[in-house]
């Protein structure tokens, strides 16, 4: 197939970089987002998300006039759906007698429906949004077939998941291997032709449901491995062991690689995707379900560490450093750091938050401060929640110059060694039985 025009629905962390890659490779791209603020920001030369190198790429795409943004799709050769798939909370016993989080497919349904007026025979439709198995066949295809065209016969339908890491999206979009799952072999070949425009990594073709499961398996694998690290942390606390030393020693084994524990698991992928497998087969996904529960409970373990460090929390003021779900990015989606802050607030503590990558973030009921100086003023404890380089590189001298507080609580092993205790600080660390 020849792709002269591509329509990308959803201009977030994946959709916008993808649209720009096509545009800078000579394809006419219409970027669509239902959020008027996003469209307005992009039209005025701004950027609504932070990703290294993205601003320059967007500017190049716009300058060539290959990227145009709008609130509604138009006829194109290919349509790429890259909208969010968050989860819905369920109460205990609402789903086969267990606590579950179910996939919220409303955005996928809406985006797919919006294509109906403009889809034409011979088009290619790609779903990139992370989805439960069989979404392409049982949700997307039936909606598109309301047009009178049949998936895999009159138009091509593909599932191709993004597999990139925030902070390295532009590099990995191009260099990572790509999985193309078609509802037919011909659809898979059409999808491969599309992504071959800019992808340098290997492109593998399979069926749509396999591609959907591959994406979920990748993130579930990570979630399960983080869960065992977090559980080891709780055991270390019980037995009086420093978990960081124990992990370092255990990883000396040539076939062992225990991941780092922390305040929990966040982001739009690892903390969400495993639930899609649990939802699809709750009788089989027992280990996956348990791992999700372990990781979702980790912020409560952090709360107990703060209690050990400060005693009664009501009336105390705590400086929380870092709010994103992982180091050195501005992505706050499903961040366990936010959950820790809210748990502390429920105890009656006042929490002052500093997020260096998103100092202007607005969260209901959360007090964000623009810099370290204002954050650390008049606090009873300093809580390190995210291992941002600029936070981990803080020194006792720097902290002492900003505050009289000498109680430090480190949940990510960012402050190492005896330097802090020698400087007169009380350092409490997650998993070290402080």
Phi-psi region of 277 (alpha: psi -120 to 50; beta: other; left: phi over 0): alpha
192, 215, 326, 352: the active-site residue: 215
Which residue out of 269, 316, 392, 405 is catalytically annotated?
A: 269
**Burial class of residue 323 (count of CB atoms within 10 Å of its CB; 0-12, 13-18, 19+):** buried
DSSP helix, strand, coil percent of the chain (3-state; round to 5): 40, 15, 45
Residue ranges in 262-329 assigned as alpha helix (H): 273-280, 286-310
Residue 427 to residue 421: CA distance in whole angstroms: 7
Active site residue 405: no
Closest C-alpha to 102, from 358, 224, 273: 273
CA distance 197 to 176: 14
User: Is 326 considered catalytic here?
Assistant: no
Q: How far is the C-alpha of 355 from the C-alpha of 370, rounded, in Å?
A: 8
List helix spans (H) across 164-272: 169-175, 185-195, 208-239, 243-250
Cα–Cα distance, 401 to 395 (Å, whole number): 10
Question: Which residues are identified as catalytic?
Answer: 215, 269
């Amino acid at each position: 197939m020849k792709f002269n025009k591509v329509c990308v629905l959803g201009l977030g962390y994946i959709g916008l970089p993808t649209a720009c890659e096509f545009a800078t490779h000579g394809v006419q791209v219409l970027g669509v987002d239902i959020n008027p603020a996003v469209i307005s920001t992009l039209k005025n030369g701004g950027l609504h998300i932070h990703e290294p190198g993205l601003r320059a790429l967007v500017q190049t795409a716009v300058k060539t006039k290959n990227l145009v943004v709008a609130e509604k799709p138009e006829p194109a050769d290919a349509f790429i759906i890259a909208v969010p798939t968050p989860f819905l909370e369920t109460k205990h016993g609402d789903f086969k007698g267990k606590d579950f989080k179910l996939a919220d497919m409303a955005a996928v349904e809406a985006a797919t429906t919006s294509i109906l007026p403009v889809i034409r025979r011979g088009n290619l439709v790609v779903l990139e949004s992370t989805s439960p198995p069989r979404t392409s066949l049982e949700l997307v295809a039936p909606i598109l077939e309301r047009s009178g065209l049949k998936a895999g016969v009159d138009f091509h339908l593909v599932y191709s998941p993004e597999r990139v890491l925030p902070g390295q999206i532009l590099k990995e979009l191009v260099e990572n291997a790509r999985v193309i799952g078609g509802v037919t072999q011909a659809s898979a070949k059409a999808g491969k032709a599309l992504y071959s425009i800019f992808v340098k990594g290997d492109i593998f073709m399979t069926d749509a449901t396999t591609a959907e499961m591959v994406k979920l398996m990748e993130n579930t694998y990570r979630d399960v491995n983080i869960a065992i690290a977090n559980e080891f942390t709780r055991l270390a606390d019980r037995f009086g062991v420093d978990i960081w030393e124990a992990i370092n020693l255990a990883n000396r084994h040539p076939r062992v690689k225990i991941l780092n524990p922390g305040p929990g698991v966040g982001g739009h992928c690892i903390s969400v995707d495993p639930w899609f497998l649990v939802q699809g087969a709750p009788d089989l996904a027992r280990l996956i379900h348990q791992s999700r529960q372990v990781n979702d409970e980790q912020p409560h373990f952090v709360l107990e560490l703060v209690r050990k460090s400060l005693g009664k929390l009501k009336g105390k003021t705590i400086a929380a450093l870092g709010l994103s779900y992982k180091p050195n990015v501005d992505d706050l989606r499903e961040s366990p750091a936010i959950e820790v802050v809210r748990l502390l607030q429920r105890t009656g503590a006042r929490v002052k938050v500093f997020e260096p990558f998103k100092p202007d973030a607005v969260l209901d009921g959360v007090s964000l401060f623009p810099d370290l100086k204002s954050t650390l003023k008049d606090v009873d404890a300093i809580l390190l929640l995210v291992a941002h380089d600029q936070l981990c590189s803080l020194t006792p001298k720097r902290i002492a110059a900003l505050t009289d507080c000498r109680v430090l609580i480190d949940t990510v092993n960012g402050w190492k060694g005896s330097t802090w205790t020698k400087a007169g600080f009380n350092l409490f660390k997650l998993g070290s039985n402080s």
